[in-house]
Amino acid sequence: MLPGKLLLPLLFLALASAASQTIALPDNGHAIQLGEDGKINQTFIANTDYMYCFLTFTVVPGDQNCSDNADIVVAAPDSRAVFSLKQHYGKEAWVSYGQFLGRWDEEEPINLVIQSQTAESNSSSVCWPVIDNLLLKSIPKLIQGNSNLLLNEGFEYGPEFPSNSTDGILIDPAQSPVQSPLQEWSVLGTMKFINSKHFFVPHGNAAIELLLVAPTGIQTAASLTEGSTYDLGFKLGDANNSCAGDFVVAARAGSTLQNFTLLSNGTGSSKEFLMKFRADSGLTLISFQIYTTSQTKDGALFDIGFAPLRSWID
């Protein structure tokens, strides 16, 4: 079965105030601000054919210069995630986040709750977040095809892209590859999910950018034949967002570890790399981590485009 997607528009309910007009908003300029104890809650029905649910939402800090932004808590029956607005990653005033919401087998009603949260006792100094552009997407469980031993190898399955987002979608760390916005991959550090509409992408419609803010990487597991030799092929590139530099990416497959360097001038190019390895166990962990920590003069972040990944029997 070909993985598909289903988009459900969400409506807002309860306890939220209209956003201040002085805040720059994406799209048509309407959003809601979650004030103190502000909460929106909507129930949707999971479709049994599309069990894995992802949420994309866009958030604008209530005040651009605020040092005390309230957090946003997104909760569904199988998940609860807290998003903080501490670091700014893009060029827009707003950021879009992607999250894995859960997987549901039955046609059960799912409550999606988004609320503000602060640890600050004096709420008058807190800036309350503005929420916009909620997109819900679901896909069936990914099934391994004949041509590739990895699932979601081209990073095509993840949260939906807002139609007008030129900044990509931020993905927070996710330990479990199943409960990950980037299906089948664990995520170490914050990364960006980007699409070919607004970025240079080496293959397909989407790719990930490993942001050089902290150790960033991804990891998956492949069922291989112990003792057999495999090729791990992947493309590294820059997303055509002016980030130039030398990027070192450490690839690991089982006990085989090798560094690859990409010389990038930031104008949108990619290069294919190959690593041979022998599977030293049936279940082999495959991971990529970026090491370079240099930053541009203006403090912008270096990014790296990264897709697709192939692995096949030698």
Ligand X SMILES: *[C@@H]1O[C@H](CO)[C@@H](O)[C@H](O)[C@H]1NC(C)=O
Assess contact for 16 and 33: CB atoms under 8 A.
yes
Tokens of 127: 């800036």
DSSP bridge pairs for 17: 33
Q: Site for ligand X (CB under 6 A): which residue of 84, 87, 163, 225?
A: 163
> Does residue number 67 form part of the binding site for ligand X (CB under 6 A)?
no
> Does residue number 260 form part of the binding site for ligand X (CB under 6 A)?
no
Distance between CA 31 and CA 35 in Å, rounded? 13
> Does residue number 64 form part of the binding site for ligand X (CB under 6 A)?
yes
Ramachandran category for residue 152: left, alpha or beta (phi over 0 → left; psi -120 to 50 → alpha): left
Size of the site for ligand X (CB under 6 A): 25
Q: Site for ligand X (CB under 6 A): which residue of 79, 117, 269, 295?
A: 269
Name which of 256, 266, 263, 171 is nearest 217 in CA terms. Answer: 171
Backbone phi and psi for residue 126, each to the nearest 5 degrees, phi listed first: -90, 140
Segment near ligand X (CB under 6 A), from 84-92, 118-126, 185-193, 275-283? 118-126
CB neighbour class for 159 (10 Å; exposed up to 12, middle 13-18, buried from 19) = buried
> Does residue number 92 form part of the binding site for ligand X (CB under 6 A)?
no
Q: Segment 275-304, which members bind ligand X (CB under 6 A)?
A: 291
DSSP symbols for 111-140: EEEEEEE---S-GGGPBPPEEEEEEEEEEP
Q: Site for ligand X (CB under 6 A): which residue of 17, 84, 87, 125?
A: 125
Segment near ligand X (CB under 6 A), from 48-56, 98-106, 185-193, 252-260? 252-260
Q: Segment 194-223, which members bind ligand X (CB under 6 A)?
A: 200
In the DSSP assignment, the letter for residue 174 is B
Q: Whole-number minimum distance, CB 81 to ligand X, in Å?
A: 15
- Residue number with CB closer to ligand X (87 or 267): 267
- Residue number with CB closer to ligand X (142 or 300): 300
> Does residue number 66 form part of the binding site for ligand X (CB under 6 A)?
no
HSE-CB at 303 with a 13 A cutoff on CA atoms is: 28
> Does residue number 255 form part of the binding site for ligand X (CB under 6 A)?
no
Cβ-based neighbour number of residue 102 at 10 Å: 20
CB neighbour class for 163 (10 Å; exposed up to 12, middle 13-18, buried from 19) = exposed
Q: Whole-number minimum distance, CB 53 to ligand X, in Å?
A: 16
Segment near ligand X (CB under 6 A), from 91-99, 117-125, 184-192, 273-281? 117-125
Distance between CA 14 and CA 36 in Å, rounded? 13
Q: Segment 221-250, which members bind ligand X (CB under 6 A)?
A: 240, 248, 250
Q: Write out the residues near ligand X by the rule CB under 6 A.
A: 27-28, 41, 43, 64-65, 111, 113, 122, 124-125, 163-164, 200, 240, 248, 250, 257-259, 265, 267-269, 291
